[in-house]
Structure 1
């Protein structure tokens, strides 16, 4: 548990948020710079949504929060390094928020049902948005 906490709850300037309904955790997002130093002007984020609460807009709410956070914090863009290409719900969500697929790394993820599938690198330009 402590090992997971350190991985998910990174020190500042990173941030972690949790989506709740009453006392039920629905999902979480962590966000921060994609790379330290000279890459710190590009944000990144990771997301978890409890599958029992899928379809309730939790992922969209977390995604919109991250985009707003990155914009108001002064990041110039957001880069997602590894969006599983077969996760069409996530790909559709990120596209609806303005992200583009820049590239797909073939067979970079060993999916439990689909075997080796690609990972999308997705990008959102925040300048002037």
Structure 2
């Protein structure tokens, strides 16, 4: 809410757009090591990584000419999120857990689609 007091609506939209691009980029990077499990095309996942990275860089470059403080805020928010995550991991022994196994996904897809398990690869 405090951000809205210091920025106009266009700058807030830019912060949101770049943040979403960063989330997509990180998701695709994480998907690279799971390509063999998901059956996705490695080339398409790599293409998604590079296209997202290019979009982030272009957005940051364009915004740095219009509103240099936006770039500073994005970097600051990223550093703050890493700092908070590090503090949480140290203080409460936070661990990342795998919540859904590949077999669970197949079972859920079977129920959702109403197909036999052999049809889902």
Greater strand share, 1 or 2? 1
Please say whether Structure 1 and Structure 2 have the same fold, judged by a TM-score greater than 0.5: no
Query: Shorter-chain TM-score category?
Result: 0.3 to 0.5
TM-score, structure 2 normalization? 0.33
**Rg comparison, structure with higher value:** 2
TM-score, structure 1 normalization? 0.32
